[in-house]
Amino acid sequence: MAFCEPLGIGSYIGMFILPAIPFVGFICLPMWAFVGSVNLNKKNYACAMLIMSLIAVALWIIIAFFGFAIGGSLLNDLFNGYY
């Protein structure tokens, strides 16, 4: 196991703020995760954030699908007069 230098406070602040900026996060996180010359702590953080983002997007799609299905069913019943 290789030793890596601990990150400073400024690096942690940047790691939390940069991915929150639209489009910048889509660039920073994959670069931190897949480029070989990045600090191991930053690489692990980026990988974890990418996995969590993919899970969040998948859950959002599932919830939106069921929401539209239920909403469409309710509107169909409303317009057909079934209460």
Number of domains in the chain: 1
Each residue's pLDDT tens digit in the chain (83 positions)? Answer: 566 788 899 999 999 999 999 899 889 999 999 988 889 999 999 999 999 999 999 999 999 999 999 888 888 877 787 65
> pTM, whole model, 2 decimals?
0.77
* Eight-class DSSP state of 7: P
What is d(CA 77, CA 70) in angstroms, rounded to the nearest whole number? 11
Contact status, residue 32 vs residue 43, Cβ threshold 8 Å:
yes
User: By residue range, what is the domain housing residue 55?
Assistant: 22-80
Could you tell me if residue 15 is inside a domain?
no
Could you tell me if residue 13 is inside a domain?
no
